[in-house]
Structure 1
Amino acid sequence: MPKTIQTRRVFKAAALSLLLGLSVAATAEENRSVQSSAVDKEAPIHALETLSSIKNAKPLSVTVPKIEEFTTKSGIKVLLVQTPTLPIVDVALRFNAGSARDGEIRPTGFGIAGMTAAMLTQGTKTLTEDDFTKAAETLGINLSSTAYQDMFIVSLRSLSDDEHLLPAADLMSQMLTEPTFDSTILERNKSRQLVGLKQQKQDPAYLAAIAFSEALYGDHPYAHPTVGTLETVPTITKEDLTKFWQRYLVANNASMAITGNVTRAQAEALANRITKDLPKGQAASTLPEPQPLTAPKHIHIPFDSSQTTVIMGQLGNKRATDPKAQQEQTNFAVGNDVLAGGDFNARLMTEVRQNLGYTYGISGGMSPMLTRGPYQISFSTRNDKARAAIDASLKVIDDTLTNGITQSEMQLTKDSLKNSFPMSFSSNASINGTLGMMNFYNLPNDYLANYNRRIDNVTLASVNQSLRSNLNPDKFLIVTIGKDNPWENKTKPTKKKRR
């Protein structure tokens, strides 16, 4: 799935600093030099062109990590990258077992996957909750489990010497194969979860996200929140968790990523040690395809606040696995970065924030998943400006689809994406996350090696066609959370027809 807009902005800033050879805090002399140049403040792209350090910079030389592949004795595919620089090892075991599977255990069992993940580290057949925590802390390891919509991740970080890594692997194996799901701890967890859910009811961004998912997906498994609801969490039982664990946390439903200071032989032994007692089981079934909305839909939820939270969007795409579809998603990613990326060169940010002053920030993007994930744009604005901000945003989108982005916008974005690319494997954890994503979604092992090639293959015609093919703002779902309903007593402006 995709990084957040905020993370992408950090990546771009770091890559740009590296490209320029500058520290984040420029010297006073450098500041005076830039200020004395003839810079058009209304044209940030042209302003960048006045900096000789950018114009004369050589392309970054990128060496992607070497990916090795093997299969455990239990049949689990493992991707390995050896990184001997630090004496640590990261292991992540991913199961096709996110909250989208809750309804397969029980039709109204929303929150089962999340609760199962929480309780894997809360006691086994031979270790109480306190003993398990003490064992992990004594070894100095990070051992956790988390459920998302598509996937269920059990991860380990340990020192790489046998004295720490081997008992850590045994503890990870034990939590996977011998959880107790203690009833007393379950009731405590449910009480805490209910408190958290009640607190989230006071967060308009959370309410908007839930309403958006429910309206976009209807009765599809992606419609409900991973944490469950106030109505479903109290109904979760030990039997539910046991059924989920037995059905989905099995070898035939798993993939693994290992990164760190280990040899190939050590990695194979480690993977087999962790998974040797996992039952074979069966792979999860294919998720159903969600159906797109056939007409625009506007939902307003009253909320006593001076701000209105807005989420607008539609169904997006599933994670692409073949080269042609991956290139198409790259084309769209470049175009959307120009339209709705998180930086100040993006068209939505320039118009809705800088020119009109309606919001502090607006951004959006696609979240490809096992099946069609959402495309959504979000922002907050004053109550009395909500409708104007929505209309302005739709106008920017419509103008972009009608007239396309420009060559200079496309080139700036392509350079930015290529220069920030190395940050996706700048640490042990980031490499492991990328490996795990590739393995889970069955991406080819040359996915990273071909990244820059896909960026180079992007053309202006392909970008603009991709935007027009993927976005349909005339049928957007728009959710607003605020004091006033922006749709009351107002009519939408007539939009010109796109070519």
Structure 2
Amino acid sequence: MTASADIRSAASPTTVKTLTSPRGVEAWHVESDVVPLIAVAFTFEGGSAQDPEDRPGVAQMLARLLDEGAGPYNSDAFQERLAARAIELSFNAGNDAIGGSLKTLVKHADEAFELLRLALLEPRFDHDAIERVRAQTIAGLRYQQNDPGVMATRRFFEEAFPGHPYGRPTSGTVESVAAITRDDLAAMHRAILARGRVKIAVVGAIDAERLSVLLDKAFGDLPEARPLNPVEPVPLQNLGVRHVVDLDVPQSVIRFGTPGIPWRDPGFIPAYVLNHVLGGGAFTSRLFQEVREKRGLAYSVGTSLVSYRAAAMTWGYTATKNERVAEALDVISGEMMRLKEEGPSEQELQKAKDYLIGSYALGFDTSTKIAHTLVQIAFEGLGVDYIARRNDLVAAVTTADIAGAAERIFGDGRMLTVIAGRPTGL
């Protein structure tokens, strides 16, 4: 076992060490005896972007089935063993990764890590479990067909990344989920859940020596990684285009997007601050003030930065009466261009930085939050010292940095827009 990179800083909300177990499993570790719990987060490179082109939804279905029976235990028996020790185990799938989390009392750690091992290495994919999850997924997809927000979002990604894995629905379609076979699930499991692709973070009342033993138990027997299908880099497509999804509803749901800056890019932090000013700052953002407070166009409006392995965008949302859609979009695009041309005021910029710095520690108030944040940082390759550096990076953002980010994000002012409803006056 080796330990290194003990990160301590007045700006850092926690202390992180790296360790490598005897069998070569690497993890980021925060030892804390405040409560007798262990929280584990892990993520494997490769998610729904690895789905077969004609069967989107395999990765999400796989994630839902990993704890539906494993090793000698069928679904009921596996869940009963978790419940008997109050062990929380869950899995999820996104565009670029399949991940999961484990939370357990220290006294049940051996059993918890054994159940995690079984879920990772020996999922059963029993017929009844597959069919139950399939039925639940299809029922959800059918229900969503009447949801304007879901329909707008789905169409947005189709138009944003046409013909690309990111343009396909991560949860699949009714038809594709119906066609998924056990062999599809087993093939995805073999391809993604491998040693060389996993990032792990562990937080709790456990020392490095015991943690190394448990990590070897849960992850040590994973197969070596084989190459994944390449996911080609793709810029946001169809800028300047507006699409309408015709739905007979009195209020239209709007999704809009412009180019973005990925988390791994040096320009991300200035873009993050800029986004807080534009639409990420809840009640203080420009869009909230202009769209809701001054004009009463919408109840909520906001933007966020989206960073995938092979794409990035600035993504926004709102909803308004059909007859006020055009006005809302004009206000949104106008604020974007005003920020690009004039930038935020010095006071506005300082307030944004103060908030982002002061609120950062709030994301580290539970063991589970810390573990998930750390594993995301590890997945992005930002370094174990990122949480110690992050607030200094925010504090260093200048008006010139903001101007550079605005040029990259807002460009010539064109954005991709999808409206689900029956807007008038566009």
Is this a same-fold pair by TM over 0.5? yes
Q: Which structure shows the higher strand fraction?
A: 2
Determine whether 1:121 maps to 2:57: no
Partner of 1:8: none
Structure 1's 483 and 397: CA in aligned 2 closer, same or farther, altered over 3 A? same
How big is the shift at 1:286? 4.5
Partner of 1:239: 183
Bigger mean CA offset, 137-146 vs 218-227: 218-227
Checking the alignment, whether the CA contact within 8 Å between 2:251 and 2:421 is kept in structure 1 is yes
Checking the alignment, whether the CA contact within 8 Å between 1:146 and 1:154 is kept in structure 2 is yes
| Match runs of 1:114-263 below 5 Å | 114-161=60-107, 164-263=108-207
Checking the alignment, whether the CA contact within 8 Å between 2:238 and 2:416 is kept in structure 1 is no
Checking the alignment, whether the CA contact within 8 Å between 1:74 and 1:251 is kept in structure 2 is no
Structure exhibiting the larger radius of gyration computed from Cα positions: 1
SS in 1 for 2:360: helix
Task: Give identity over the alignment, percent.
Answer: 26
Cα deviation code 1:447-482 (max 9, x no counterpart): 011112101211112112211222236331110011
2-side partners of 1:211 and 1:295: how far apart?
A: 14
**1:361 partner amino acid:** S
Cα deviation code 1:135-162 (max 9, x no counterpart): 111111001111111111132100012x
Determine whether 1:467 maps to 2:406: yes
| Structure 1 unaligned spans of 5+ | 1-59, 488-499
**2:70 partner amino acid:** T
2-side partners of 1:414 and 1:342: how far apart?
A: 11
- Within the candidate set 300, 317, 320, 2:261 is matched to 317
How many positions carry a matched residue from both structures?
418
SS in 1 for 2:397: coil
SS in 2 for 1:448: helix
Checking the alignment, whether the CA contact within 8 Å between 1:294 and 1:475 is kept in structure 2 is no
- Within the candidate set 102, 105, 108, 2:54 is matched to 108
Cα deviation code 1:336-365 (max 9, x no counterpart): 211112422211111111111111111102
1-side partners of 2:397 and 2:54: how far apart?
A: 44
Checking the alignment, whether the CA contact within 8 Å between 1:293 and 1:475 is kept in structure 2 is no
Checking the alignment, whether the CA contact within 8 Å between 1:319 and 1:371 is kept in structure 2 is no
How big is the shift at 1:283? 5.0
**2:139 partner amino acid:** V
Bigger mean CA offset, 287-296 vs 474-483: 287-296
Partner of 1:284: 228
Checking the alignment, whether the CA contact within 8 Å between 2:89 and 2:103 is kept in structure 1 is yes
**2:36 partner amino acid:** P
Checking the alignment, whether the CA contact within 8 Å between 2:48 and 2:94 is kept in structure 1 is yes
SS in 1 for 2:175: coil
Checking the alignment, whether the CA contact within 8 Å between 1:394 and 1:473 is kept in structure 2 is no
**2:50 partner amino acid:** R
Structure 1's 452 and 91: CA in aligned 2 closer, same or farther, altered over 3 A? same
How big is the shift at 1:486? 4.6
- Within the candidate set 300, 310, 324, 2:244 is matched to 300
SS in 2 for 1:126: coil
Structure 1's 97 and 76: CA in aligned 2 closer, same or farther, altered over 3 A? farther
Cα deviation code 1:77-97 (max 9, x no counterpart): 211111110100011221012
Partner of 1:492: none
1-side partners of 2:21 and 2:175: how far apart?
A: 41
Partner of 2:342: 403
| Structure 2 unaligned spans of 5+ | 1-8
Partner of 1:94: 43
Structure 1's 461 and 268: CA in aligned 2 closer, same or farther, altered over 3 A? same
TM-score (norm 1): 0.81
How big is the shift at 1:295? 4.6
Partner of 2:27: 78
Which stretches of structure 1, 4 residues or longer, exceed 4 Å deviation after superposition? 60-63
| Match runs of 1:41-52 below 5 Å | none
Cα deviation code 1:25-48 (max 9, x no counterpart): xxxxxxxxxxxxxxxxxxxxxxxx
2-side partners of 1:318 and 1:286: how far apart?
A: 18
SS in 2 for 1:289: coil
Q: How big is the alpha-carbon RMSD for the aligned residues of Structure 1 and Structure 2?
A: 1.7
Bigger mean CA offset, 452-461 vs 467-476: 467-476
